Structure 1
Amino acid sequence: MRIAIYDLDNTLTRRATFTPFLAFAARRIAPWRLILLPIWVLMMLGYRAGLFDRTTLKTYGMRLMLGKASVEMLQRVGHEFASTRANNDFFMPAVLALLDEDRRNGAHVVIATAAFDFYALAFADLLLIETVIGSRWDGRVISGGNCYGETKLRRVQSWAKAEGLSLDSATIRFVSDSFADAPLLELADEPIFVSSSASKRARAKARGWRVISAD
């Protein structure tokens, strides 16, 4: 069996999605919260300075910009968000070509992403991908932690077990732009790294990963 797993942000899409989603959703749900965007920027700087981890950052961002919005409302806004982005050359052509190749080869295609599943599912629908493994928001916290790094690997393993699939016997392709995804890239039979950075491409090649340009 062939399994093809794709990251979302900066891999299938040309740009990150979380901050644009926060602004988009706040505008739809509670426009007054847009005045809080400078606080969100400061929070991101705090994360980069090591003051808190990604799970904490994203949790604070959701509470700051979207308050107590229901998951059902976030799903509706998520579909609207994905639709508006898809009409603006938002997907990465080189990665879409890999996706077409995987479909021709009969692969089971999966998106595994740190993005919240309530809008990652909407992007997956546009790309005709049925399986999404993403971060899960229950209205208060990120249930199960941010789907990133080692957590993403564990989530993929749990999904495969639940589906009765053996990752050991499958041929796995994993496509990502992030070194944080090294655990899953190292698991894959065909790791593919996406980047426009010459230094990152060199690092990825040194690890034996196939590299494609994000340009």
Structure 2
Amino acid sequence: MDDPLATAIPDYAHRVAMYDMDRTITRSGTYSGFLMHVAQRRQQWRLLLLPLVGLAGAAYSLRLIDRSRLKAINLRLLVGKRFRRTEIAPLAESYADKVVARGLHPAALDQIAADREAGYRLLLATASFHLYVDAIARRLGIDDVLATRLDEPDGTDHIHARLAGDNCYGDAKFARIDGWMAANAITRDVAHIRAYSDHVSDHPMLHFADEAVATTPSRKLKRLAPQMGWQVVDWRARRGR
């Protein structure tokens, strides 16, 4: 497959293509969709709690709570304070099927395929939960995943509706990328890195890359990208698949 971003680059020991997920690969955000998918199929009475979800969103808009707290509250309301992985896993799989079937940018799939063919190691770095991101990544043939983790006490099948560590977003996401590179013995001087994102919060990841691509960018990223010399592409415009 032809690489839409193909350029003549030196031979490096490592080639890494880093992708954000929500609104980069996917057409829309996946977090709220996952919560609704689970509530509708598992405990429909939790849909009665949607007004509380709205109040939590308002609190976040007013900066009374941070993004991490918002995600934990919504998870607790629509999925539960504590739940079994064996119970949620089939719902994560069916949600991944739904997203992959009709929720992806065809042009993102083209670029993923081109990067894979060009020998890039594919890394998906997203603030969404490992709980369902892993299932989406498997369907896309992604090599490695960095995502927001939930508290899973050792030796139990239970998952708690609270984050384990930081929300994998912005600077925290880049810290996870840095740790992943160290764990995989990938040093910056022997790696050629591509990065793709739709959102300005991924500035650290995009700035780190040799080739940074603002994909169907948000308003702020669309303004920033030309100043930084980053390529801008609109993946909504290509309907090749």
Provide the TM-score with structure 1 as the length reference: 0.93
Q: Name the structure 1 match of 2:45.
A: 32
**How far, CA to CA, are the matches of 1:164 and 1:73 in structure 2?**
36
Q: How does 1:130-145 map to 2 (within 5 A)?
A: 130-138=143-151, 139-140=159-160, 141-145=162-166
Q: Max radius of gyration: which structure? A: 2
Match of 1:12 in 2: 25
Q: What CA deviation, in whole Å up to 9, does each residue of 1:8-54 have, x standing for no partner?
A: 10001001000111111112222110111222122122212211111
**DSSP-derived class of the 2:206 partner:** helix
1:169 maps to 2:190: yes
The yes-or-no answer on 1:74 pairing with 2:88 is: yes
Letter in 1 for 2:225: A
CA offset at residue 195 of structure 1?
A: 2.1
Partners of 2:234 and 2:61 in 1: CA distance = 26
Instruction: State the alpha-carbon separation in 1 of the partners of residues 32 and 16 from structure 2.
Output: 30
Which AA in structure 2 matches 1:76?
P
Give the CA deviation at 1:203.
Answer: 2.6
**Partner deviation per Cα, 1:150-183 (whole Å, 9 max, x = no partner):** 1100111111111222234211111011101111
Specify whether residues 73 and 144 from structure 1 end up closer, same or farther in structure 2 by C-alpha distance, changes over 3 A only.
same
Q: Distance in 2 between matches of 1:111 and 1:199?
A: 22
- Preserved CA contact (<8 Å) 1:191 1:209: yes
Distance in 2, matches of 1:177 and 1:198, equals 9
Q: For 1:85, give the aligned amino acid.
A: V
Equivalence for 2:117: 104
Partner residue in 2 for 1:181: 202
The Cα shift of 1:200 comes to 4.2
The runs of at least 4 aligned residues of structure 1 exceeding 3 Å deviation read 196-200
Structure 2: stretches of 5+ with no match in the other structure? 1-13, 152-158, 237-241
CA RMSD of aligned residues (A): 1.6
Partner in structure 2 of residue 95 of structure 1: 108
TM-score by length of 2: 0.84
Secondary structure of 2:127's aligned partner: strand
The SS at the match of 1:120 is helix
**Offset of 1:197 from its aligned partner?**
5.5
| Identity of matched residues, % | 35
> Are 2:46 and 1:21 equivalent residues in the alignment?
no
Q: What per-residue deviation string (whole Å, max 9, x for no partner) do you get for residues 39-77 of structure 1? A: 212212221221111111101111111112223333321
1:12 is paired with a residue of what secondary structure?
Answer: coil
Matching residue's letter, 1:38: P
Q: Give the SS at the match of 1:175.
A: strand
Structure 1 residues 197 and 165: CA distance shift in structure 2, 3 A = closer
Q: Which runs of 5+ in 1 are unaligned?
A: none
Change (3 A) 1:181 1:72: farther
- 2:120 matched to 1:120? no
Q: 1:43 aligns with which of 41, 50, 56?
A: 56
Q: CA deviation at 1:119?
A: 0.5
